[in-house]
Amino acid sequence: MEENKIDDVNEALNSNEEKEVLENTNETSLDSKEEIKDDETNIKVEEQKEESNEDTESVKENTDAVKEDESKVTEENKREVIVSLKNVDITFGKFKAVKNATFDIYKGETFSLVGESGSGKTTIGRAIIRINPISNGEILFEGKKISGKISRKEDRDVVRNIQMIFQDPAASLNERATVEYIVSEGLYNFHLYKDEADRVRKVENIIKEVGLLPEHLTRYPHEFSGGQRQRIGIARSIVMEPKLVIADEPISALDVSIRAQVLNLLKKFQKELGITYLFIAHDLSIVRFISDRIGVIYKGDMVEIAETEELFSYPLHPYTKSLLSAIPVPDPKIEKNKKLFVYDPSIHDYSTDKPSLRDIGHNHLVFCNDKEFEEYKKIRN
């Protein structure tokens, strides 16, 4: 009997131990399940956080891109137009030298006019400075009309703020005046100096800047070479610190060694004084170096207007292509085998479909009709 009781007691103890073990295992399994659930929820939360971070980053990128686009648009809108020509015609008797010229020049830029002799480049420049009258349209300077009849005060403002470097320095310099008086004349007329010492300092500084010496100030124009006279003309225009300088072939009379010096000088004045240039030239290689935008003119018609690299990369009008093909190449072998493209106006059929200056995108304007417009857009895009 006692042995049976002992066995029963042992069995009960064993069963209790097994129950405790089972309970412990169940508890541990429950704990592990809960831990796994917690881990899974933590992972999900982290994934959601990562996704939200990615979303926020993408949103930031999108907003940054939008801001950049907006800034570009605002920068374009902020560009201040200093000179604007609208449908300008210039006639001499029955001959129409310039036909419906329309373009803007922005403040601080160099806008170049290129074309063959007699195309109307100088005529437009002289019309802006009020030497040549216009027969139609209007010319605006800083938003004010300067063409036609204006008051004496407005005329003086034009002379003060717009200067011209003439193509023929011998004809534009007073042979009876010394270089000092020629350069000082604008300073005298508008009293742009504090005292006599300040005037002399300004004149001597500008003469040194253009590569001449102070002792040249007492000489007369006929005592100088053509290139030296051109430098005097440049000094005369820059000394007044104008807002716009019309440079009509300013380096055509200069030696090749001096051309780069004068171009760098014009660039230097532009950076220091914020001068805007209307640069008239034949040499497209020089125009490419100095210009921000280029306008191509042919027999009084503006045939193409674009930014410099845009025009050289995508010349669309046949006349522009002919000008670019005429640029000399330094390599004699390539130059010898180069084929020139000759422009033939008869390739255009404007009998019914009339042309006009149209924007094909990328701030690129071309003189074309509807058919040519579609062709040019396909070439550019």
What pLDDT, on a 0 to 100 scale, did the predictor assign at position 63?
A: 45
Lowest mean pLDDT among 9-13, 145-149, 173-177: 9-13
Q: How far is CA 71 from the centre of its chain?
A: 16
What pLDDT, on a 0 to 100 scale, did the predictor assign at position 46?
A: 54
Contact 105, 279 (CB under 8 A): no
Q: Does 14 fall in a domain?
A: no
Of 295, 348, 349, 345, nearest to 319 (Cα)?
345
Contact 280, 112 (CB under 8 A): yes
Q: Does 55 fall in a domain?
A: no
**In CATH, what number is assigned to the domain containing residue 337?**
3.40.50.300
What is d(CA 128, CA 104) in angstroms, rounded to the nearest whole number? 12
Sign of the CA dihedral running 261, 254, 263, 171? positive
Map tokens 């003189």 to a residue.
367
Tens of pLDDT along 29-73?
Answer: 444 445 444 555 555 545 555 555 554 454 444 445 444 444 443
Of 243, 279, 274, nearest to 165 (Cα)?
279
Pairing mode of beta strands 356-359, 365-368: antiparallel
pLDDT grade for 25, boundaries at 50, 70 and 90? very low
The number of domains in the chain is 1
What pLDDT, on a 0 to 100 scale, did the predictor assign at position 263?
A: 86
Q: Does 174 fall in a domain?
A: yes
Q: Does 76 fall in a domain?
A: no
Map tokens 């000082």 to a residue.
184
Exposure string for 329-338, b = 16+ CB within 10 A, e = fewer: eeeeeeeeee
Q: Does 61 fall in a domain?
A: no
- Region for residue 285 given its phi and psi (left: phi exceeds 0; alpha: psi -120 to 50; beta: otherwise): alpha
Q: Does 13 fall in a domain?
A: no
Q: Does 15 fall in a domain?
A: no
What is d(CA 139, CA 83) in angstroms, rounded to the nearest whole number? 7
Tens of pLDDT along 282-305?
Answer: 878 889 889 999 999 999 999 999
What is d(CA 67, CA 63) in angstroms, rounded to the nearest whole number? 6
Q: Note down the domain range covering 119.
A: 81-347
Q: Does 356 fall in a domain?
A: no
What pLDDT, on a 0 to 100 scale, did the predictor assign at position 81?
A: 95
Tens of pLDDT along 105-154?
Answer: 999 999 999 998 899 999 999 999 999 999 999 999 999 999 999 999 99
Q: Is the pLDDT of residue 238 over 80?
A: yes
